[in-house]
Amino acid sequence: MCEIPGSEDSSKIGYIKLTTFNQNAAGSVKEAIKKLRENNVKAFVLDLRNNSGGLFPEGIEIAKIWMDKGVIVYICDSRGVRDIYEADGASTVAASEPLVVLVNKGTASASEILAGALKDNKRAVVYGEPTYGKGKIQSVFALSDGSGLAVTVARYETPARTDIDKVGVTPDRPLPASFPTDEDGFCSCLRDPASCNLNAARLFVR
Protein backbone atom coordinates (compact mmCIF):
# COMPACT_ATOMS: atom_id res chain seq x y z
CA MET A 1 0.00 0.00 0.00
CA CYS A 2 1.33 3.40 -1.03
CA GLU A 3 0.12 6.46 0.83
CA ILE A 4 0.43 9.37 -1.57
CA PRO A 5 -0.52 12.90 -0.51
CA GLY A 6 -2.34 14.97 -3.11
CA SER A 7 -3.60 12.18 -5.38
CA GLU A 8 -6.88 13.04 -7.10
CA ASP A 9 -8.28 9.52 -6.95
CA SER A 10 -7.06 8.34 -3.59
CA SER A 11 -4.36 8.99 -1.03
CA LYS A 12 -3.93 5.20 -0.69
CA ILE A 13 -2.92 3.15 -3.73
CA GLY A 14 -2.78 -0.63 -3.65
CA TYR A 15 0.25 -2.15 -5.41
CA ILE A 16 0.02 -5.76 -6.65
CA LYS A 17 3.03 -7.39 -8.33
CA LEU A 18 2.20 -10.56 -10.26
CA THR A 19 5.30 -12.52 -11.30
CA THR A 20 3.73 -15.59 -12.93
CA PHE A 21 0.39 -17.14 -13.84
CA ASN A 22 0.40 -20.32 -11.79
CA GLN A 23 -2.67 -22.23 -10.62
CA ASN A 24 -3.04 -19.94 -7.59
CA ALA A 25 -2.62 -16.61 -9.40
CA ALA A 26 -6.28 -15.56 -9.67
CA GLY A 27 -7.00 -16.51 -6.06
CA SER A 28 -3.92 -14.61 -4.88
CA VAL A 29 -4.99 -11.46 -6.75
CA LYS A 30 -8.48 -11.65 -5.22
CA GLU A 31 -6.98 -12.03 -1.74
CA ALA A 32 -4.62 -9.10 -2.32
CA ILE A 33 -7.52 -6.87 -3.40
CA LYS A 34 -9.49 -7.90 -0.31
CA LYS A 35 -6.62 -7.11 2.06
CA LEU A 36 -5.88 -3.77 0.42
CA ARG A 37 -9.54 -2.76 0.57
CA GLU A 38 -9.50 -3.45 4.29
CA ASN A 39 -6.89 -0.67 4.47
CA ASN A 40 -9.20 1.73 2.60
CA VAL A 41 -7.37 1.47 -0.72
CA LYS A 42 -9.50 2.94 -3.52
CA ALA A 43 -7.15 2.57 -6.51
CA PHE A 44 -4.77 -0.13 -7.72
CA VAL A 45 -1.52 -0.66 -9.61
CA LEU A 46 -0.99 -4.09 -11.19
CA ASP A 47 2.69 -4.71 -11.98
CA LEU A 48 3.19 -7.25 -14.79
CA ARG A 49 6.79 -6.31 -15.59
CA ASN A 50 9.02 -9.33 -16.23
CA ASN A 51 6.00 -11.64 -15.99
CA SER A 52 6.70 -14.18 -18.74
CA GLY A 53 3.24 -15.73 -18.53
CA GLY A 54 2.18 -19.19 -17.44
CA LEU A 55 -1.28 -20.75 -17.38
CA PHE A 56 -3.58 -19.20 -19.99
CA PRO A 57 -6.80 -19.88 -17.98
CA GLU A 58 -5.41 -17.95 -15.00
CA GLY A 59 -4.77 -14.93 -17.21
CA ILE A 60 -8.40 -15.06 -18.35
CA GLU A 61 -9.68 -15.37 -14.77
CA ILE A 62 -7.59 -12.41 -13.60
CA ALA A 63 -8.95 -10.28 -16.44
CA LYS A 64 -12.46 -11.19 -15.24
CA ILE A 65 -11.57 -9.94 -11.75
CA TRP A 66 -11.03 -6.43 -13.12
CA MET A 67 -13.68 -6.42 -15.89
CA ASP A 68 -17.45 -6.79 -15.67
CA LYS A 69 -17.96 -7.05 -19.43
CA GLY A 70 -16.08 -7.04 -22.72
CA VAL A 71 -13.87 -9.25 -24.88
CA ILE A 72 -10.68 -10.45 -23.18
CA VAL A 73 -8.98 -12.13 -26.14
CA TYR A 74 -9.68 -13.57 -29.58
CA ILE A 75 -8.21 -16.93 -30.61
CA CYS A 76 -7.65 -16.77 -34.37
CA ASP A 77 -6.42 -19.19 -37.02
CA SER A 78 -6.07 -19.04 -40.79
CA ARG A 79 -9.85 -19.02 -41.18
CA GLY A 80 -10.42 -16.14 -38.77
CA VAL A 81 -11.76 -16.01 -35.22
CA ARG A 82 -11.93 -19.50 -33.72
CA ASP A 83 -12.87 -18.65 -30.15
CA ILE A 84 -13.69 -15.60 -28.03
CA TYR A 85 -13.10 -15.23 -24.29
CA GLU A 86 -15.26 -12.61 -22.61
CA ALA A 87 -16.02 -11.21 -19.16
CA ASP A 88 -19.65 -11.55 -18.07
CA GLY A 89 -19.49 -10.06 -14.58
CA ALA A 90 -19.78 -13.38 -12.74
CA SER A 91 -16.20 -13.29 -11.45
CA THR A 92 -15.82 -9.52 -11.09
CA VAL A 93 -14.22 -8.26 -7.89
CA ALA A 94 -12.86 -4.81 -8.77
CA ALA A 95 -14.39 -3.37 -11.94
CA SER A 96 -14.76 0.25 -10.87
CA GLU A 97 -11.65 1.35 -8.97
CA PRO A 98 -8.98 3.28 -10.93
CA LEU A 99 -6.35 0.87 -12.26
CA VAL A 100 -2.84 1.21 -13.70
CA VAL A 101 -0.94 -1.67 -15.30
CA LEU A 102 2.88 -1.67 -15.58
CA VAL A 103 4.52 -3.62 -18.43
CA ASN A 104 7.93 -4.00 -20.09
CA LYS A 105 9.69 -6.14 -22.68
CA GLY A 106 9.70 -9.01 -20.17
CA THR A 107 5.89 -9.03 -20.08
CA ALA A 108 4.91 -12.00 -22.27
CA SER A 109 2.20 -14.45 -23.25
CA ALA A 110 -0.65 -14.60 -20.69
CA SER A 111 0.43 -11.33 -19.11
CA GLU A 112 0.24 -9.66 -22.54
CA ILE A 113 -3.29 -10.99 -22.98
CA LEU A 114 -4.25 -9.49 -19.62
CA ALA A 115 -2.61 -6.14 -20.32
CA GLY A 116 -4.15 -5.97 -23.79
CA ALA A 117 -7.62 -6.74 -22.47
CA LEU A 118 -7.46 -4.11 -19.74
CA LYS A 119 -6.06 -1.51 -22.14
CA ASP A 120 -8.41 -2.09 -25.09
CA ASN A 121 -11.48 -2.14 -22.84
CA LYS A 122 -10.27 1.13 -21.28
CA ARG A 123 -10.33 -0.54 -17.88
CA ALA A 124 -6.73 0.47 -17.09
CA VAL A 125 -4.03 2.93 -18.09
CA VAL A 126 -0.97 0.95 -19.22
CA TYR A 127 2.51 2.32 -18.49
CA GLY A 128 5.90 1.04 -19.60
CA GLU A 129 7.40 -0.18 -22.86
CA PRO A 130 6.09 -2.48 -25.62
CA THR A 131 5.72 -6.03 -24.35
CA TYR A 132 7.57 -9.11 -25.62
CA GLY A 133 5.15 -10.17 -28.35
CA LYS A 134 4.49 -13.87 -27.67
CA GLY A 135 1.16 -14.54 -29.33
CA LYS A 136 1.44 -17.91 -31.08
CA ILE A 137 -0.41 -21.07 -30.04
CA GLN A 138 1.63 -24.11 -31.04
CA SER A 139 1.16 -27.86 -31.03
CA VAL A 140 4.09 -30.29 -30.97
CA PHE A 141 3.89 -33.37 -33.17
CA ALA A 142 6.16 -36.37 -32.53
CA LEU A 143 8.22 -37.61 -35.49
CA SER A 144 9.36 -41.18 -36.17
CA ASP A 145 12.98 -40.41 -35.30
CA GLY A 146 12.00 -39.26 -31.81
CA SER A 147 12.20 -35.54 -32.54
CA GLY A 148 9.27 -33.15 -32.51
CA LEU A 149 7.80 -30.57 -34.85
CA ALA A 150 6.22 -27.40 -33.43
CA VAL A 151 3.39 -26.14 -35.61
CA THR A 152 1.59 -22.84 -35.10
CA VAL A 153 -2.14 -23.60 -35.02
CA ALA A 154 -3.56 -20.27 -33.85
CA ARG A 155 -2.71 -16.83 -32.49
CA TYR A 156 -3.89 -14.38 -29.84
CA GLU A 157 -5.47 -11.05 -30.77
CA THR A 158 -6.42 -8.33 -28.30
CA PRO A 159 -10.00 -6.94 -28.15
CA ALA A 160 -8.90 -4.20 -30.60
CA ARG A 161 -7.78 -7.01 -32.97
CA THR A 162 -4.06 -6.40 -32.49
CA ASP A 163 -1.99 -9.51 -33.24
CA ILE A 164 0.20 -9.86 -30.15
CA ASP A 165 2.89 -11.99 -31.80
CA LYS A 166 6.17 -10.12 -32.40
CA VAL A 167 4.34 -6.81 -31.82
CA GLY A 168 3.25 -7.01 -28.21
CA VAL A 169 1.06 -4.53 -26.38
CA THR A 170 1.95 -0.86 -26.75
CA PRO A 171 1.49 1.06 -23.48
CA ASP A 172 -0.54 4.25 -23.17
CA ARG A 173 2.39 6.04 -21.55
CA PRO A 174 6.13 5.36 -21.22
CA LEU A 175 8.14 4.79 -18.06
CA PRO A 176 11.82 5.71 -17.75
CA ALA A 177 14.16 2.72 -18.07
CA SER A 178 15.43 3.26 -14.53
CA PHE A 179 11.95 3.17 -13.02
CA PRO A 180 11.99 1.03 -9.83
CA THR A 181 10.83 -2.59 -10.08
CA ASP A 182 9.91 -3.09 -6.41
CA GLU A 183 6.96 -1.77 -4.41
CA ASP A 184 9.05 0.37 -2.05
CA GLY A 185 10.80 2.07 -4.94
CA PHE A 186 7.48 2.57 -6.71
CA CYS A 187 5.92 4.26 -3.68
CA SER A 188 8.99 6.45 -3.19
CA CYS A 189 8.77 7.50 -6.82
CA LEU A 190 5.14 8.59 -6.41
CA ARG A 191 6.00 10.58 -3.30
CA ASP A 192 8.78 12.37 -5.18
CA PRO A 193 7.52 12.71 -8.78
CA ALA A 194 10.51 14.77 -9.89
CA SER A 195 12.83 11.84 -9.20
CA CYS A 196 11.11 9.53 -11.69
CA ASN A 197 9.07 11.76 -14.00
CA LEU A 198 5.75 10.31 -12.87
CA ASN A 199 3.05 12.38 -11.18
CA ALA A 200 0.85 10.55 -8.68
CA ALA A 201 -1.89 13.15 -9.02
CA ARG A 202 -2.31 12.26 -12.69
CA LEU A 203 -1.37 8.59 -12.47
CA PHE A 204 -4.83 7.27 -13.40
CA VAL A 205 -5.65 9.92 -16.03
CA ARG A 206 -5.79 8.44 -19.53
Maximum separation of any 2 CA atoms in the chain, in Å: 66
Tell me whether strands 43-47 and 12-17 are parallel, antiparallel or unpaired. Answer: parallel
One-letter amino acid at 143 equals L
Q: Rounded CA gap, 26 and 18, in Å?
A: 10
Cα 150 from chain centroid (whole Å): 27
- Candidates 7, 109, 111, 119; catalytic one: 109
Q: List the beta strands (DSSP E) in 104-182.
A: 125-128, 136-142, 148-157, 173-174
DSSP letter at 95 equals: S
DSSP letter at 152 equals: E
Sign of torsion over alpha carbons 102, 125, 195, 43: negative
109 included as an active-site residue: yes
CA angle (101 as vertex; 136, 205 as ends), nearest 5: 130
- Work out the angle between the directed axes of helices 56-66 and 110-120 (0-180°, nearest 10): 20
* Cα 191 to Cα 12, 51, 98, distances in angstroms: 12, 26, 18
| Active site amino acids | 109, 134
